[in-house]
Amino acid sequence: MSERKWRRSPWLSLGAWLAVALAGLMIVNTVRAFVEPVEFARYMGLPLSDAANAAFVQVYGLRAAFLGLFALVLLWRADMFALGAFAAVAVVMPLGDAVLAAQAGAPVAIIARHLISAAVLIVMAYVTRRWAFANADLIP
């Protein structure tokens, strides 16, 4: 097996494994948003003023499900170009979450968690796109 052939597998890319981890987190967030919306809102740094407003947290959960599943579909299709672009654009979400949490007076640890998520997405975008460009001649 030539060196170029084994590089074709996206599973040898850090970006693929970051995509799996982040998609898993999105699925967990979906479940938490439906099972315990009040606690999940608190975890995000945006506690609900009224537990009756939990439906909006579940709207977030539905979007998280889409994002996680879409990332997995891109990975399953080995579309690393699109997966890298997806990660780069997704950085907007945790940065926005950090700003909203800060405005709501969330603890620094929660704001930092959002910023770490953004950093992981930036790394994922970089390594995934790097893999895609390095293997562009091997992808049909």
pLDDT tens digits, residue range 50-87? 988 899 999 999 999 999 999 999 999 989 999 999 99
Q: Is 55 exposed, middle or buried (0-12, 13-18, 19+ CB in 10 A)?
A: exposed
Domain count, the chain: 1
Predicted local distance difference test score (pLDDT) of residue 113: 97
Cα within 13 Å of Cα(56), Cβ side: 9
- pTM of the complete model: 0.87
- Is the pLDDT confidence value at 1 over 50? no
Give me the amino acid identity at 108.
Answer: V
d(CA 14, CA 35): 31
Using pLDDT thresholds of 50, 70 and 90, give the confidence band for residue 139.
low
- The domain containing residue 8 runs over which residues? 3-138
Radius of gyration of the chain (CA): 17
- Is the pLDDT confidence value at 28 over 90? yes
